[in-house]
Amino acid sequence: MTDNFTTLGLAEPILRAIAHEGYTTPTPIQTRAIPHLLAGRDLLGIAQTGTGKTAAFALPILHRLAKSGGRALPGHCRVLVLAPTRELATQIADSFKAYGRHVGISVAVVIGGASYGPQTKALARGVDVLVATPGRLLDHIEARVVRLDKTEVVVLDEADHMLDLGFLVPIRRILKHLPAQRQSLFFSATMPKEIRALADQMLRDPVEVAIVPLATTVASVTQQVFLIEADKKRQLLVELLGQPNFTRTLVFTRTKRGADRVVAHLEAAGLAAAAIHGNKSQGQREKALAGFKSGRTRVLVATDIAARGIDVDNVTHVVNFELPHVPETYVHRIGRTARAGAAGIAISFCDGEEQTLLRDIERLTRQTLPSVDRRTSGWKTPSAGAKPANHRSGRGAPGRGSNRWSNQRSNQRSGPRTVNAGRYAAA
């Protein structure tokens, strides 16, 4: 592995920006991807969020722009990055601005929920790096505000999340507007057949880089499940958030309405909280995320739409208020804590109807999650990296009317385990 960025062949202005950001050692995906991208190759990257993939594609793109010089033509972009969510698009754009601070490039963000006016003006001038969500970009293309026929590099980030959101058809429409001669970069955490087919359509003789996040990142997440009735979840959440070590907590719900209800309940209990989901305006989402990042809001309640777009340091706890229907989503959720080597805690609430979802998660992660039967016993909030209190010892916990539920887990192993550092490692 490369020990530092200076050996990767990046231009000096970019190295200065990297040093300004405090980065010294490239991550595995940066070490493996950047040389190929500097050579102009197409790339298929299989990597989770949190592995450093934004810098893996942003740095060589900036190097290319710095070396080639020139400016984007009016109504055109030189680089196009497609992202599934507004938050992720904004964060990618911020990264380009930070890494390109000494290069002198223009960066624009085109996303839904924001005013058309500023976007139209930026595109009319021409932009070096355009970061966009598919729907809003198509609006501008169809309005003939922007053309893609001079685009030199295109990046598709988090392709599997694009599939989840139903963006594959819009993406294929966008690809038709791009020139045949271009460099294409494709990133996805998983590769279902629909995504593989899209990659085959988009890429030309690509280099494939698959990255497994470091085990130390995974090992720093302490996981625990509370077995609890559905109507007691909000009460338990208030109790948990009343603990002083819950300093920055991300709570996940399955629905937008559910997120709003959780926020209302927390505020009624005197806890400052904000929600972030698809029904919120862009201004509301930015305000909620800014408050969470600054520490003014200790609790952010989110749906899975926003899960991959939230990149906030020092998240101490992730609480799965409801288990996700897709087990891979659990891994993405808990990856919001224990970032950059820090410790973190992931707590999941599981009611009787969610037992199948819990088994799916355990099957995917190849582990048995330590659990507490909140209906019949007390509990103690675990500290980061510590063994959860009152974890199941392998025997079904007695409980009124709950023998079937308890017995379902009666043969499971006990003790805290972390997400397997395999294909679906938490990052």
Residues present in the chain in total? 427
Distances (CA, A) of 338 to 9, 191, 341, 418, 426: 31, 25, 6, 12, 9
Tell me, yes or no, whether 172 and 269 share the same domain: no
Helix (H) or strand (E) holding 111: none
Q: Which two tokens stand for residue 68?
A: 């080639």
3-state SS class at 110: strand
**Is residue 415 in some structural domain?**
no
**Is residue 418 in some structural domain?**
no
pLDDT tens, residue by residue, 112-127: 988 999 999 999 999 9
Domain's final residue, options 154, 184, 210? 210
Tell me, yes or no, whether 275 and 297 share the same domain: yes
**Is residue 232 in some structural domain?**
yes
**Is residue 413 in some structural domain?**
no
More confident position, 372 or 309: 372
Q: Lowest-pLDDT range, 52-66, 122-136, 206-220, 258-272? A: 206-220
Question: Tokens 């720093």 identify what position?
Answer: 220
Dihedrals phi, psi of 123, to nearest 5 degrees: -70, -35
Domain that holds residue 159: 5-210
252 bridge partner residues: 302, 320
Mean pLDDT, residues 195-223 taken together: 79
Tell me, yes or no, whether 162 and 300 share the same domain: no
Tell me, yes or no, whether 144 and 23 share the same domain: yes
Mean pLDDT, residues 86-93 taken together: 91
Tell me, yes or no, whether 124 and 257 share the same domain: no
**Is residue 417 in some structural domain?**
no
Domains in the chain, number: 2
Return the CATH number at 282. Answer: 3.40.50.300
Tell me, yes or no, whether 201 and 227 share the same domain: no
Domain's final residue, options 192, 210, 228? 210
In contact, 198 and 168? CB cutoff 8 Å: yes
**Is residue 423 in some structural domain?**
no
Supply the pLDDT for residue 218: 52
Q: Lowest-pLDDT range, 121-130, 150-159, 204-213, 350-359? A: 204-213
Q: Is the pLDDT of residue 427 over 60?
A: no
pTM: 0.64
Tell me, yes or no, whether 280 and 132 share the same domain: no
Tell me, yes or no, whether 328 and 193 share the same domain: no
